[in-house]
Every structure is written in C-alpha cells, then in structure tokens.
Amino acid sequence: MRIITLNVNGIRSAAKKGLYDWLRHQHADAVCLQEVKAQHADLTDRMLAPAGLRGYFYCAEKKGYAGVALYARREPDRVSVGFGSREHDDEGRYLQADFGDLSIVSVYLPSGSAGAHRQESKFRFMDHFFPVLEKLRHDGREYILCGDWNIAHREIDLKNWKSNQKNSGFLPEERAWLTRVFDELGWVDVFRTLNDQPDQYTWWSNRGQAWAKNVGWRIDYQIATPGVAKQAGKEKIYKEKRFSDHAPLIIDYDRAL
C-alpha cells in the first residue's frame, strides 16, 4: 500500500507543473493533498478523478484558500469531513476516508506565520484537535493522518533551528503539543521510524536559495496508530521535480488498502 501526501499550494498550479503526469506513474493507493485553494467548480475532470483514482474534496468556504483532498484507488466505505470545530471546518482542513479497519485522513493545520491572529487560530486548532486525536487513538481503528502539520518537531527537523525558536512552526508550545501527540497519546511519526537522518525536509521557503541549499523544514507527516505504523517499510521525500514549495512524502506499507 503506497500513500503519498503533498501540500500542493494550489491544485491548479501543481497541475500545470506536471503533478498528474507524475502521479500516473506512482501506483499510489491513496494520495492526500492539502492547500488545494480551489472550489469544486474550479476542478477539472482530471483533478476530480486522475487515472485509476477516485477523488474526494473538502474545500474552504473562502475562495482560493486552504482545503484538502484525498484520492483512493478503491472506493472508501465511508467519507467524512470536519472534526467539529466550526472555525476550522469552514476552512476545509480535515477529510477522512474509511477502508475496512483503516482510516486515511488528509489534514491541514493552520500556519501562524501571517501574524498573531493566525497564530491564535492555530493554537485554537491544536486545542480542539488534541481531544479528537485522543478519541481516534482509542476507537479501535487504525489511522494514518497525512498532511501539513505546520510544526517541525525537533531540532533535526529544520535547518536553522536556533534562529527559528521564536517563529511559528517551531515555537516551544507547538513542539510540546506534538510531543504530547506522540508520547502521551501514542501516535507514531512514521517517517522517523524509517529514517533518522538529518537534512530530511519537505518544505522550503521561496526566499533566498532555500531550495538550492536545502535550507528546509520537515512539516509534512504521516502520523499513524502503532499497528499500521509497524507495517511501514519504505519512505521517500520526492525531490526530482517540484510541484509546490512542499515535496511529496511517500511511504509504502506492507498491507493492502
């Protein structure tokens, strides 16, 4: 089972950069996208159903903003959207597809980098989402939560960690919250179980030569319940072509969808 997650920073932009040509050759069973920045009326047939995949979208009410999507090779038993926070559900940040005893989620946490008001919204998301994560963790299902969490967890997860300790995405409160998700609730950072090397990033600023110099952040995750996390066998951050300021995170699991 191959699962890919990618913040596309605009699905129409990523499409023009060859995302769907690339996807056709990936043989993915599920693909989670974030920040689609589109309404349903903006989506082409290819965006709605790429070759061999079924598409499901949860768009933000605000045009050109946020939104998540999920493609699946097999039809889900059930698709649900939102997690019960009106503020954030209106922004299209959580889409869940159930397949037997496994659920795959495309999730997009807010960024706080636009200013204090957005950071406060991010903190509210974290407050609302933690009990949801606790409930999911103990409901007996396996979960893989794919997406842009907008938090680099540890110093190894971004290049310039010393100078970013007061910046959104690496604030002590954000990192401590993610530590609680892993250590207190028992969720697993799947990539790190397979790759403990430094310089593994999924996002690069468009400023300076961040991409060329690999001055990046690892803020895109597949975070899973322990059972399915143990079935992960191979990971890759795909950087040969660029579809966005983020890179696709690909993980293969030793199970069927």
What does the domain layout of the chain look like in residue ranges? 2-253
Provide the CATH number for the domain formed by 2-253 in this structure: 3.60.10.10
The DSSP secondary structure of the chain, one letter per residue, reads: -EEEEEE-SSHHHHHHTTHHHHHTTT--SEEEEE-----GGG--HHHHS-TT-EEEEE--SSTTS--EEEEESS--SEEEE--S-HHHHTT--EEEEEETTEEEEEEEPPP-TT-HHHHHHHHHHHHHHHHHHHHHHTSS-EEEEEEE-----SGGGBTT-GGGTTSTTS-HHHHHHHHIIIIIT--EEHHHHH---SS--SEE-SSTTTTTTT-EE--EEEEE-HHHHTTEEEEEE--SS-SSSB--EEEEESS--
The series of mean pLDDT values per 10 residues for the chain, 257 residues long, is 98 98 97 97 96 96 97 98 96 98 98 94 98 97 98 98 97 98 98 98 95 97 98 98 98 97
pLDDT at 51: 85
pTM higher than the cut 0.95:
yes
pLDDT at 235: 98
Active-site amino acid positions: 148
